[in-house]
Structure 1
Amino acid sequence: MQTVTAAADTADVPRSALAPALHILHTNDFHNSLGEAGGKRLREAIASLEGAPYLFLDAGDAIKAGNVGVNPFGEPILDCMSDLGYDAMTLGNREFHILRPALETKISHARFPILCANLRGRDPEAAQKLPVVPHITLDRGGLKVTIFGLTVPMVTEKMKMAAAVSAFLFDDPIEVARRLVAELRWGADVLIALTHIGIREDERLARSVSGIDLIIGGHSHVSLASPQWVEREGGSSRATPIVQAGWHARSYGHVTLHRPPGDRTGEGAWQVHGELHPLQERVQERGKPH
Structure 2
Amino acid sequence: MKNYSDTIHLYHTNDVHSHFDSWPQISRFLRSKREMHEAKNEACYVFDIGDHVDRSHPYTEGTAGKGNVELLNHSGYDAVTIGNNEGITLSKKALTNLYDGANFDVILCNLKEPDGSTPNWLEPYHIYETEKGIRIGVIGATAMYTEFYQRLGWHIEEPRQSIIKTVHQIQGQTDVIICLSHLGIHEDRLLAEECGEIDVILGAHTHHLFTEGELVNETLLAATGKFAEYVGHITISLNESNRVIGKKAEVIHVNKMERLKDDIKDVNTLINAGNEAMEEKVFYNAEPLKQQLFKESPLSSFFGRALVEYTDADCAMFNAGIFMGNLEEGWVTRRQLHSMLPHPINPCVVILDGSELLEVYNLAENKDWPKLEIKGLGFRGTLMGKMIFERLYKNKLGELFAGNRQVMPGDKYKLATLDMFTFGFFFPILQEAKKEYYMPELIRDIAGWYGKQKALDKMNLSEQ
Task: Please report the TM-score for the alignment, with normalisation by the length of structure 2.
Answer: 0.50
How far does the alpha carbon of each residue in 1:181-209 deviate from its partner, in whole angstroms, 9 at most, with x for none? Answer: 11111110111111100111100100111
Secondary structure of 1:95 counterpart: helix
Larger Rg: 2
Query: Higher relative contact order by CA 8 Å / sep ≥ 6: 1 or 2?
Result: 1
Q: Which is further off, 178-187 or 27-36?
A: 27-36
Structure-to-structure mapping, 1:45-60, within 5 angstroms: 45-49=33-37, 50=39, 51-60=41-50
The CA distance in 1 between the partners of 2:207 and 2:144, in whole Å, is 17
Once the two structures are superposed, the pairs formed by residues 243-258 of structure 1 within 5 Å of their partners are 243-258=222-237
Give the structure 2 partner of residue 10 of structure 1.
Answer: none
Relative to structure 1, the CA distance from residue 21 to residue 223 in structure 2 (aligned partners, 3 Å threshold; closer, same or farther) is same
Check 1:206–1:288 CA distance in 2 against 1; reply closer, same or farther (3 A cut): farther
Conserved 8 A contact 2:125-2:166: no
Distance 1:130 1:89 in 2: 15
1-side partners of 2:87 and 2:66: how far apart? Answer: 13
Question: In the alignment, which residue of structure 2 is the partner of 1:8?
Answer: none
Q: Pairwise mapping of residues 99-118 of structure 1 onto structure 2 (< 5 A)?
A: 99-118=91-110
Aligned to 1:136: 126
User: For 1:18-51, what per-residue CA distance to the aligned partner results, in whole angstroms no more than 9, with x for missing partners?
Assistant: 2211111111111122432222222222233234
1:153 aligns to 2:153 (yes or no): no
Give 2:247's aligned amino acid: V
Residue 40, structure 1, aligned to residue 36, structure 2: no
Residue 79 of structure 1 is matched in structure 2 by 70
Amino acid at match of 2:30: L
Match of 2:158 among 167, 172, 176: 172
C-alpha contact 2:149 2:156 (8 A) present in aligned 1: no
Residues 117, 176 of structure 1: 8 Å contact kept: yes
Residue aligning to 2:17: 31
The 5 Å alignment of 1:185-196 reads 185-196=171-182
Q: Is the 8 A contact 2:50 2:86 kept in 1?
A: yes
Shift of 1:74: 3.6
Residue 210 of structure 1: how far off its partner (Å): 2.7
What is the one-letter code of the residue matched to 2:51?
A: D
| Partner SS, residue 38 of structure 1 | helix
Q: Give, as a single letter, the amino acid of the residue that structure 1 aligns with 2:128.
A: L
Q: For 1:186 and 1:280, how far apart are their aligned partners in 2?
A: 42
For 1:206, give the aligned amino acid.
Answer: A
* Pair 1:277-2:277 in alignment: no
Cα gap change, 1:76 to 1:183, in 2 (>3 Å)? same
Distance 1:70 1:180 in 2: 34
Is the 8 Å Cα contact of residues 27 and 249 (structure 1) preserved in structure 2? yes
Report percent identity of matched pairs: 23
Report the counterpart of residue 220 of structure 2 in structure 1. 241
Post-superposition CA distance 1:110-162 (Å, at most 9, x none)? 321111101111135xx25442211111111321111010100122xxx4xx5
| Shift of residue 220, structure 1, vs aligned partner | 1.4
Deviates more, 1:273-282 or 1:246-255: 273-282
SS in 1 for 2:221: strand
- Give 2:109's aligned amino acid: A
Q: Does 1:214 align with 2:206?
A: no
Shift in Å, 1:106: 3.5
**TM-score normalized by the length of structure 1:** 0.78
What secondary structure is seen at the aligned counterpart in 1 of 2:122? Answer: coil
Equivalent pair of 1:28/1:244 in contact (CA under 8 Å): yes
Deviations along 1:64-115, one digit per CA (max 9) or x if unpaired, are 226xx96554431211111221110011111113742121244344321111
In structure 2, give the amino acid aligned to 1:39: S
2:115 is aligned with 1:123: yes
Amino acid at match of 2:102: A
Secondary structure, aligned partner of 1:242: strand
- Between the aligned partners of 1:163 and 1:254, the Cα distance in structure 2 is 32
TM-aligned CA distance change 1:118 to 1:270, over 3 Å: farther
Which amino acid in 2 is paired with 1:48?
M
- Distance across 2 between alignment mates of 1:23 and 1:72: 32
